[in-house]
Structure 1
Amino acid sequence: MYKILANTIFLGKDVHFLPECHSTNDIALQLIKNRQAAEGTLVITENQTKGKGQRGNVWQTAAGQNLTFSLILSPKFMDISEQFYLNMMVSNSIRSLLVEYLPELKVKWPNDLVIPDCGKIGGVLIENVFGAKGWEYAVVGVGINVNQITGLPDRAISMKSMTGSVFELKELLQLLVTQIEQGYLKLKKRNLEVIRLEFERHMFQFDQWKSYQTEDGRFKGKITGVSKEGHLLLETDKGEKNQFGIKELQFLW
């Protein structure tokens, strides 16, 4: 069973462990609705049956082999227009830890962790709660494929499949949450441009000519960065400079 994390200031001091649940994000949102969650609350399960990803996708995971958890934050110090900075901070924090084991790890916009030419190893899904006064809560859902080898979805990999090593889940969780907490404290200090530049520097396919798909068809393009609102900035091979929202562009692996 997962216990209160020892090496953090406020994240993981209230732990809700469930042997099985459909989605840790949903549980966290329910805790907020019921006014049962303080900032820093951690919801974790050993078997997430209906984990959520971007675009309505399902995050598939094997019981007891991976990390699936959600953190409740209260970023009231930020404007609603700055939502994507939280996404970038969390992605940066996870990458900066896992790159110690996976040197080629990149962040695929908007929220995936991938190794080029190999596949996806994890992802982040943030769901927000807004009130009359602005941004009240953010539920940060994290899924990392750790020790699973068989039954992985198409184009998915795990830390074990890439390194051959078995990882202690509780220890890895402690390290990840500590890293996210440190990133969150930097966010509170308004180091927004530093966060954005780090995100861009480690982006999957950054400054490379690759193929992409929109509703208008396929084209060649080069990622040049992200906007403050979180749109992907991309230059086409025809010299056009465009920006795309999350559901407007598809990467062609």
Structure 2
Amino acid sequence: MYKILANTIFLGKDVLFLPECHSTNDMALQMIREGRAKEGSIVICAHQSRGKGQRGNSWEVQGGQNLTFSLVLCPDFLDLSEQFYLNMMVSNAIRKLLQDYLPDLKVKWPNDLIVPLQGKIGGILIENIVGSEGWEFAVVGIGLNINQKEFRVPTATSLALLTGSEFELEEIFKMLVTHLEQGYIQLKKGKNSLIKSDYLHHLYLLEEFTTFYTEHGSVSGKIIGVSESGNLLLETTEGDLKTFGLKEIQFPKF
């Protein structure tokens, strides 16, 4: 299962499959430190017991039902100030994979994949290794709910629940890695504006007036974009522009 991919140029030519692990990101980071990983290496796990999400959250998965893997990249062609373009590229690649099955799929800032009023189907966690000369490695952790039918978290859902069909995990994996490679090549070619435009076009609640929540209370406004550093740009109902980082704003529950 999960053999070396034949339909890609450089991603997935080194695939480590683990029946069980704590976190594929942690395993990939360890492999980098030990010199056992290179650009394009993938760690994939059937049952990830301590998967990590944004804001320090855990990622709940049932063994053998979903896709949980980490991809090693060397985006040293990007400045550290351009890190969010990698996030946007990965989000775009996952959405392109799933949009044929889920035409209502949206990206919820910064990089959750959701179907509005239905639930969250996937997420991304990117962890970086930075050296004295800049960005050395990025470990892109991806979790996608594919065939799981029961969740303890009421806002979680899966491709199977939303479509009524079950899917072959390895085929979904192969198609996703192909989309990721295409997006990464686009990033290497400097197509940043195209990547950002695609990301914003499918951004959840873009230009919709909504009430958000911060540590200082609620704020009503509409998302008008993201900054170059990846912060959320919000125009309040009073016409003020506010900028929020990852842990500074919460979306309304759906």
- TM-score bracket, shorter-length normalisation: over 0.9
Q: Secondary structure at the match of 1:19?
A: strand
Matched, 1:221 2:218: no
Q: Give the structure 2 partner of residue 59 of structure 1.
A: 59
Distance apart, 1:239 and its partner CA: 1.2
Aligned equivalents of 1:152, 1:41: Cα separation in 2:
32
Could you tell me which runs of 5 or more consecutive residues in structure 2 were left unpaired when the two chains were aligned.
none
Q: Give the structure 2 partner of residue 180 of structure 1.
A: 180
Aligned equivalents of 2:27, 2:169: Cα separation in 1:
21
Aligned equivalents of 1:220, 1:156: Cα separation in 2:
26
What TM-score comes out, normalization by structure 1 length?
Answer: 0.99
Distance apart, 1:151 and its partner CA: 2.8
Q: Which amino acid aligns with 2:150?
A: T
Q: Which amino acid aligns with 2:18?
A: L
Q: Give the structure 2 partner of residue 17 of structure 1.
A: 17
Q: Deviations over 1:8-62 (max 9, x none)?
A: 1111100111000000000000000101101000100000000000000000100
Distance apart, 1:154 and its partner CA: 2.3
Would you say how many aligned residue pairs link Structure 1 and Structure 2? Answer: 253
Alignment of 1:1-253 (within 5 A): 1-253=1-253
Q: Which is further off, 151-160 or 79-88?
A: 151-160
Could you tell me which runs of 5 or more consecutive residues in structure 1 were left unpaired when the two chains were aligned.
none
Q: Secondary structure at the match of 1:224?
A: strand
Q: Secondary structure at the match of 1:6?
A: coil
Aligned equivalents of 1:159, 1:152: Cα separation in 2:
16
Over the aligned positions, Cα root-mean-square deviation in angstroms equals 0.7
Identity score, percent? 58
Aligned equivalents of 2:6, 2:93: Cα separation in 1:
19
Q: Secondary structure at the match of 1:198?
A: helix
Aligned equivalents of 2:53, 2:157: Cα separation in 1:
16
What TM-score comes out, normalization by structure 2 length?
Answer: 0.98
Q: Deviations over 1:41-87 (max 9, x none)?
A: 01000000000000000001000000000000000111011000000
Q: Which amino acid aligns with 1:104?
A: D
Q: Which amino acid aligns with 2:204?
A: F
Residues 108 and 157 of structure 1: CA distance in aligned 2, closer, same or farther (over 3 Å)? same
Q: Which amino acid aligns with 1:25?
A: N
Contact 1:225–1:233 under 8 Å retained in 2: yes
Q: Which amino acid aligns with 2:157?
A: I
